[in-house]
């Protein structure tokens, strides 16, 4: 059985690579990021064992410039800090780093000493009372992002600063091109938010990034209204057409069968979905919801928290164009979870981020 599973994975990946040979340059670039549909086949080939070894992020070179224009946000647990600490310290030489985490990192926090790294521990902050009322553990990552942006505003006011650019990352990611993380040339010249895997890492100019402070309340509202059972949320087709495939999960959203047909799968290929949206844009704009209409299922199964779908909805309705950036190419460390983080809830296992 294991042999057949691995053989199937090898055949699938071989066919996938052949398809790339006949794709245009832009599609090849986008398919590198839109790789969720092949990840399970890589896992079956024990890909995680190959790339999950203890590999350390490289630090970036020192800069002669003293002008700081970028705020780096790390809203979440400091997983794999040992592998990423040198990179974070080197980034702090050129920017201000805002960390928002929990008491579980308290021993680690005592060891972090840098004038440009500002740490907020939820349990010891003004955010504790609101944090106690976060209705689902998976919403904590978005709540912490809200808190981190709030801390940026406070820092700017106190120090009479004004950050032009913002970068949100995690410490449990290995970056292939860490030296490019603070290169904001594209952010300066393109009117979009640069996104990796929807909610893992993103960056942009102030006007495109800071709207994310409002996302937690949007996600909380969707969760409390049983998001999985919401049949339909209107779609902004223009944002999807202008965005890069692979940046956000717009193909996971719910679409009316009346417009797109009844054959849409739960995780339809993003390239196919974008082509269908371009083709049916007039029908999308004129569609009027009816109670008995049928809709495509959401991309996440009902027993999983739909965080990526929520963020995709938020960015779509906000009209923020999302694009890929090669500086985010890398992978998430295999050994990123603490044992204490595993939380049992309604028979399922979740991890507070």
Q: Model's pTM, two decimal places?
A: 0.86
pLDDT score at 48 = 58
What stretches of the chain show up as alpha helix (H) in DSSP? 2-21, 25-33, 36-44, 47-51, 81-92, 106-109, 128-131, 140-159, 185-189, 206-209, 215-224, 237-242, 257-260, 270-279, 281-286, 307-318
pLDDT score at 252 = 93
Q: What's the CA gap between 301 and 298, in Å, rounded?
A: 7
pLDDT score at 198 = 82
pLDDT score at 49 = 60
Give pLDDT < 70 ranges for the chain.
1, 25, 27-29, 31-53, 63-66, 336-353
pLDDT score at 223 = 96
Query: Residue 77 — left, alpha, or beta (φ > 0 → left; ψ -120 to 50 → alpha)?
Result: beta
* 3-class state of residue 314 by DSSP: helix
Instruction: Give Cα 232 distance to the centre of its chain.
Output: 23
Q: What's the CA gap between 213 and 32, in Å, rounded?
A: 29
pLDDT score at 31 = 67
Q: What's the CA gap between 229 and 146, in Å, rounded?
A: 26
Handedness of CA 330, 247, 267, 23 (dihedral sign): negative
């Amino acid at each position: 059985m294991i042999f057949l599973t691995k053989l199937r994975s090898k055949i699938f990946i071989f066919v996938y690579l052949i398809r790339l040979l006949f794709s245009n340059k832009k599609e090849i670039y986008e398919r590198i990021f839109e790789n969720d549909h092949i990840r399970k086949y890589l896992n079956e080939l024990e890909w995680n064992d190959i790339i999950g070894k203890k590999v350390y992020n490289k630090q970036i070179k020192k800069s002669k410039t003293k002008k700081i224009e970028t705020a780096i946000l790390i809203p979440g647990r400091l997983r794999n800090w040992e592998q990423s600490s040198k990179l974070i310290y080197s980034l702090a030489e050129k920017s201000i780093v805002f960390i928002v985490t929990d008491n579980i990192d308290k021993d680690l926090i005592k060891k972090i000493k840098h004038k440009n790294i500002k740490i907020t521990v939820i349990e010891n902050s003004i955010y504790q009372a609101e944090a106690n009322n976060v209705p689902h553990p998976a919403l904590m990552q978005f709540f912490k992002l809200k808190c981190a942006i709030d801390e940026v505003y406070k820092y700017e006011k106190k120090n009479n600063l004004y950050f032009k650019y913002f970068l949100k990352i995690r410490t449990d990611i290995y970056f292939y091109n860490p030296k490019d993380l603070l290169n904001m040339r594209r952010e300066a010249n393109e009117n979009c938010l640069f996104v990796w895997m929807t909610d893992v890492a993103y960056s942009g100019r102030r006007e495109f990034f800071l709207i994310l402070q409002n996302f937690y309340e949007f996600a909380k509202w969707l969760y409390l209204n049983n998001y999985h059972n919401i049949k339909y949320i209107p779609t902004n087709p223009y944002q999807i057409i202008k965005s890069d495939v692979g940046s956000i999960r717009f193909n996971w959203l719910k679409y009316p069968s009346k417009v797109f047909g009844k054959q849409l799968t739960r995780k339809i290929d993003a390239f196919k979905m974008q082509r269908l949206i371009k083709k049916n844009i007039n029908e999308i704009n004129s569609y009027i919801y009816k109670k008995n209409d049928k809709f495509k299922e959401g991309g996440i199964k009902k027993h999983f928290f739909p965080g990526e779908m929520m963020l995709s909805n938020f960015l779509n309705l906000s009209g923020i164009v999302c694009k890929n950036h090669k500086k985010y190419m890398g992978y998430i460390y295999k050994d990123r979870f603490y044992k204490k983080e595993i939380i049992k809830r309604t028979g399922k296992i979740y991890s507070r981020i």
